[in-house]
Amino acid sequence: MTKILIVDDEKQICENIGKFLSRKGFLTDRAFNGKEAIEILKQEEFALVLMDIKMPVMNGMEALRRIKRDYPYTEVIMTTAVEELNTAVSCMKEGAYSYISKPIGFEALDLDIQRALERRRLVLENQDYQRNLEIKVEERTQEVKALYHRLEKSFFSSIRIFIELIELYDPFIGSHCKRVGILAGEVAKRFPMSKIDIQEIQTAGYLHDIGKLGIPEHIDKAPFEKLNERDICRVKKQTIYAQEVLSTIDRLKNAALFIRSHLERVDGTGFPNGLKGDEIPIESRILSVVNAYDEMRFRCRFSLSSTGKPDERVALSHLKEYAGKRFDRDVVNKLEEVLSDLKTSKKPKELVSIEELRGGMTLAEDITDKTGKIVFKKGSLLSAIQIMKIQGLGEDIKEFKKEVYVYA
């Protein structure tokens, strides 16, 4: 039932109004000054307060201010024995619903109470609507976020599948692209970039050599200095081919742009556009350094070590030598920091059977065939396809070691 608080220092008035409201089906309580009314409101919730203005201890105007401040959804009707326009206006400004002159006519009082309670109902309904709307908006927002994350997960799963297919076509390019994507992402984290920017760089790293699939193998694997002018032109256009293919997918347009410029040089002697310095996107400069590092570490024709084996120290030395000419100096320094951190955090290698190999493991030692030829290089990030090939070697070659060292 609706509860109404009657506040008046005249006991008889409180009793008369109380009897009338009880007959109308309201529950009532009484207070004889503003201070008592405030204390009662602290204990119970009232839909409406019917309050005189002139009272001892705390008058009605002061009590009205406190009630509307602390209980904004409680309606207040003011009463007074003095009919003054200024007083009525003041009551309205402080938040009272209406102002009634004494002696109180019960029919007029009943009408004012019904109207005040109707306004309160509408205000509370609107509040509930707004609250429910906020909840629904939040729920919908969470649904959209969940859908976005599922789409993102599906997108990156598609990228990984694509890399697996590239790896099936050319094991080196596939492994190289995975390493570049992962390492480029780690270097990007050293720059003031958002999570989305870092993901874009990782994606570009995974796909940066897709243009090579259109270049014949004898051209791609030949030393650059031995290529004729026509073949060199084809090699230089590989990043353009990659951009043309990837730009057809909206989600890959940024990655395609970074890939196009990752063979530019900071001194302007790179290709395909001869960009220099800050004209080259920072994402492309990161790819350039990481790509060159991985080529030197894992591809024999680019190895700078006298022994022909991958050498991190020599590769970094080469990058530093050409920093400011071919490579961005800041990126080279950030790569060195990342490699140093990876060394200290890398898990010890473990010996596992080839049947226990799982995707995501990294080879800690080279894997060779029966002739001693390296089939999978140390540092290769294992995929499902590579694991199948390794297990196939175990079945086909009697002398093949059935256990390999990995970083789990």
Q: State pLDDT tens for residues 140-198.
A: 878 777 776 776 677 777 777 777 777 776 777 888 888 899 999 999 999 999 988 99
Mean pLDDT of 227-244: 84
Q: Which amino acid is at 298?
A: F
Mean pLDDT of 11-29: 92
* Domain CATH number, residue 28: 3.40.50.2300
Domain residue limits at 369: 347-408
- The pLDDT value recorded for residue 259 is 94
The answer to whether residue 245 is domain-embedded is: yes
Give me the sign of the Cα torsion angle 308, 314, 319, 323.
negative
The answer to whether residue 145 is domain-embedded is: no
Mean pLDDT of 43-49: 94
Q: Is 226 helix (H, G, I), strand (E, B) or coil?
A: helix
Residues 131 and 123 sit within 8 Å (Cβ to Cβ) = no
Query: Residue written as tokens 């990030």?
Result: 381
- C-alpha to C-alpha distance for 365 and 408, rounded to whole angstroms: 13
Where is the domain boundary, 94, 128, 162? 128
Mean pLDDT of 44-62: 91
- The pLDDT value recorded for residue 142 is 82
Q: How many domains does the chain have?
A: 3
The answer to whether residue 261 is domain-embedded is: yes
Are 325 and 356 in a shared domain? no
Residues 120 and 73 sit within 8 Å (Cβ to Cβ) = yes
Are 255 and 331 in a shared domain? yes
What confidence tier does 26 reach under pLDDT thresholds 50, 70, 90?
A: very high
Average pLDDT for the chain: 84
Which secondary-structure segment (H or E) carries 104?
Answer: none
Where is the domain boundary, 321, 345, 369? 345
Where is the domain boundary, 345, 370, 387? 345
Of the chain, the percentage scoring pLDDT greater than 90 comes to: 38
pTM of the model: 0.55
Are 322 and 355 in a shared domain? no
- The pLDDT value recorded for residue 291 is 94
Are 338 and 357 in a shared domain? no
